[in-house]
Amino acid sequence: MGNWLSVNNTTYMSEKPWPRDGAQRWSTFELYPSWSGERHNVYEGLSYAKDDTYTETKREVVVKTKSHLPIDWTSYLDCHKEATTLATRFNRYAAHLSGDKIRFADSVISPICDVSDIMKITKLLGLITMNLHEDDNVLVEEYLKGNFLHFLSKWGEVRHSKCELLEAFAHFTHHESHGQLVVCNLKGIFNNGCFSLTNPTIHSSTGQFGSKDYRTAGISEVYRNHCCNFICNGLGLPRKNNEEKN
Ligand SMILES: [Zn+2]
């Protein structure tokens, strides 16, 4: 930081490149969150590739910062990585059954470089409770622009009428992993035949996917709530219907 007041919050360059364009990125983000939850807050921002401070590589992003409860960004990214691998396989198998596809948002971890001086002053005046600190790690993620919907709950309950593909995907992840995990809590946008999703939950037998991973109890509950549809049947997944619920 120089002698001038810093207006924006900024991050350092991400250590790892963005999955989609392979570029390391730094970001600048708003003073106040657009959404606040128990585990993280969401700020809107802009991201730039290394050495580019202008517009060529500009992307709209959201910057997620920790809130009241602890959050582990490594587990968050592990969930995205595992879900992306399974979605890529699922898209290939289900291509003849549905024209739509599933993907998960690009995201990277970056440390905060500058907390805006305006935020610091506002905090001194007692107008906000600021919980951003320089060098804290934040998650910078592709901005999912559109009608953001929660399609499937963390227990596999259907929250939206048009999500047969996502229900079949959850069943597919269970079958493909030989019952060792299930990907659920599917939320995001649907655009041009593609579900772009963020922050899924994975329940696993090993409990390796962070604090939202309810292990075998989570796997059983999602499976209990699942009811097969034509895509499950078309993929040859073991049939599961409502009569089997108990
Ligand atoms: Zn099914």
Q: What domains appear along the chain, each with residue ranges and CATH number?
A: 9-73+106-142 (no CATH), 76-104+146-244 (3.20.200.10)
Q: Ligand 1 mean position to 75 CA, how many Å?
A: 27
Which residues are CB-neighbours of 153 under 8 A, at least 6 positions away? Answer: 159, 184, 185
d(CA 101, CA 119) in angstroms, rounded, equals: 41
What is the pLDDT confidence band of residue 18, given thresholds at 50, 70 and 90? confident
Q: Ligand 1 mean position to 182 CA, how many Å?
A: 12
Q: Angle 164-176/215-225 helices, nearest 10 degrees? A: 140
Query: Is pLDDT above 80 for 102?
Result: yes
Mean pLDDT for all residues in the chain: 89
pLDDT digits (tens, 9 = 90+) for 52-98: 666 667 889 999 998 878 788 999 999 999 999 999 999 999 999 99
Q: Residue 64: exposed, middle, or buried by beta-carbon count in 10 A (0-12, 13-18, 19+)?
A: buried
What is the pLDDT confidence band of residue 245, given thresholds at 50, 70 and 90? very low
So what's the pLDDT on residue 205?
A: 98
Q: Which residue has the tokens 């593609």?
A: 194
Q: Ligand 1 mean position to 190 CA, how many Å?
A: 21
Q: Ligand 1 mean position to 184 CA, how many Å?
A: 13
Q: Ligand 1 mean position to 41 CA, how many Å?
A: 34
Q: Ligand 1 mean position to 222 CA, how many Å?
A: 11
What's the rounded mean pLDDT across residues 125-144?
82
So what's the pLDDT on residue 70?
A: 78
Q: Ligand 1 mean position to 223 CA, how many Å?
A: 9
Structure tokens at 90: 């699922």
Q: Ligand 1 mean position to 40 CA, how many Å?
A: 32
Q: Ligand 1 mean position to 105 CA, how many Å?
A: 24
What's the rounded mean pLDDT across residues 106-118?
86
d(CA 45, CA 63) in angstroms, rounded, equals: 7
Percentage above 90 pLDDT, the chain: 63
Rounded to two decimals, the ipTM of the complex is 0.99
- Residue 24's nearest CA partner among 33, 15, 11, 34 is 15
Query: Is pLDDT above 90 for 171?
Result: yes
d(CA 136, CA 30) in angstroms, rounded, equals: 16
